[in-house]
Chains A and B, each alone.
Chain A
């Protein structure tokens, strides 16, 4: 899923998936998430970065 906004204070990013729907994702397990990063997300938590912005 591609990151469209990041709230570092809350540890939450908004990500958009293949079908265009946006969800809130917890990003505590992936360092320095930025807008445009592609993340592997499972059950609302980012587990790794597939590609940097």
Chain B
């Protein structure tokens, strides 16, 4: 299949692996963060870390949209869903995210009308089909997903649909990266940029990482050869003493992003002053809410939302995993009390979560096969 097979060629992968081995300095330990949960999934699905030299460590970043939803937001969603006339809709990944009082799936089992949708457009269709009900879309995701929510709100307004609202949990990727770069906990050598987010925002907004923090960035696609090539690009910059933003994913990512999508986002949304990230705490200007012109579609205004804050369970170390400070298997409950069937933390729920990737692809201990 075009765009797939040519990026999964094992022989080319081995060549790239050898190229990478040839440019790393023996004795130096490299830490490269892949920002996006989609990349974490690619790494373990294809065993990419086994193709890297032992002194190149991949550190998993905060770019899994489900993983960063704090427990309180789940509880707020459940509070809305408990209204008798409400149908709460969300992506499938959200259903099992634990809140302080259970997940959406638990609330559904207890009688709330909560439905999985593929896109916000499906939620709008449900609103059209049930004019006597209030349909709420629990919106999550980074800049990649936010345009879909924005277009759906515009569509609802154009069609005069009044029984549709959005509980907006969209987040933006740059503020947590800046927070990580400021953190004394973590010494990183470079970043693999999130290809799909960059389809919308472009590669340019990541330039501050190179100019202010002197770390190389390669924006990467999601096939195994994309990722290996991006690791090579970061290591090559380090070998050459360069710090730039390079775009490996040129077949998809325009350097300045999708200008129509950016215009749409600034029309429909505005930045929240601050937003709580699971495990990372409150980060200023790191999330979106509907702009004043669209407040009638804001579920948090239409419904009384308790604004619950819930501390993560003591055993949960998702924050450390999301910051790349520990590996999933270093969490005490990994694979025992916390599994994909019975998750304690969000990183075990989503397929993009680092803990789920490690668990599902058998990375349950520290051993690593190195070629």
CB–CB A44/B258 < 8 A: no
CB–CB A44/B122 < 8 A: yes
**B362 → chain A closest CB, angstroms:** 25
Query: Is B350 among interface residues, defined by CB-CB distance under 8 A?
Result: no
Q: How far is it, in angstroms, between the C-alpha of A24 and the C-alpha of B118 when the chains are bound?
A: 10
Q: How far is it, in angstroms, between the C-alpha of A23 and the C-alpha of B117 when the chains are bound?
A: 12
Which of under 10, 10 to 19, 20 to 34, or 35 or more describes the interface residues of A? 10 to 19
Query: Is B105 among interface residues, defined by CB-CB distance under 8 A?
Result: no
Query: Is A47 among interface residues, defined by CB-CB distance under 8 A?
Result: yes
Chain B residues near A50 (CB, 8 Å)? 3, 251-252
Q: How far is it, in angstroms, between the C-alpha of A38 and the C-alpha of B3 when the chains are bound?
A: 10
CB–CB A29/B121 < 8 A: no
CB–CB A45/B252 < 8 A: no
Q: How far is it, in angstroms, between the C-alpha of A51 and the C-alpha of B251 when the chains are bound?
A: 9
**B288 → chain A closest CB, angstroms:** 14
Known contacts A29-B264, A38-B3, A50-B252; A44/B147 CB under 8 A: no
Query: Is B237 among interface residues, defined by CB-CB distance under 8 A?
Result: no
Partner of B148 from A23, A40, A43, A51 at Cβ < 8 Å: A43
Chain A residues near B252 (CB, 8 Å)? 40, 48, 50
Nearest residue (CB) in B for A49 is B252
Q: How far is it, in angstroms, between the C-alpha of A48 and the C-alpha of B221 when the chains are bound?
A: 14
> Taking chain A's interface residues, is the majority helix, strand, or loop, or is none over half, making it mixed?
strand
Query: Is A28 among interface residues, defined by CB-CB distance under 8 A?
Result: yes
CB–CB A47/B144 < 8 A: yes
Chain A residues near B120 (CB, 8 Å)? 43-44
CB–CB A40/B121 < 8 A: no
Nearest residue (CB) in A for B263 is A29
Query: Is B199 among interface residues, defined by CB-CB distance under 8 A?
Result: yes
CB–CB A47/B199 < 8 A: yes
CB–CB A24/B2 < 8 A: no
CB–CB A47/B261 < 8 A: yes
**B277 → chain A closest CB, angstroms:** 20
CB–CB B151/A42 < 8 A: no
Query: Is A6 among interface residues, defined by CB-CB distance under 8 A?
Result: no
Query: Is B212 among interface residues, defined by CB-CB distance under 8 A?
Result: no
Question: A residues touching B (Cβ–Cβ < 8 Å)?
Answer: 11, 18, 23-24, 26, 28-29, 38, 40, 42-45, 47-48, 50-51
Question: B residues touching A (Cβ–Cβ < 8 Å)?
Answer: 1-3, 91, 118-122, 141, 144-145, 147-149, 151-152, 155, 196, 199-200, 251-252, 254, 258, 260-261, 264
Can you report 8 A-B residue pairs in the complex whose CB atoms are below 8 A from each other?
A: A18-B1, A23-B119, A26-B148, A26-B151, A42-B144, A42-B148, A45-B151, A47-B261
Known contacts A26-B152, A29-B258, A44-B122; 7 additional CB pairs below 8 A are A18-B1, A26-B151, A29-B264, A43-B119, A47-B144, A48-B199, A50-B3
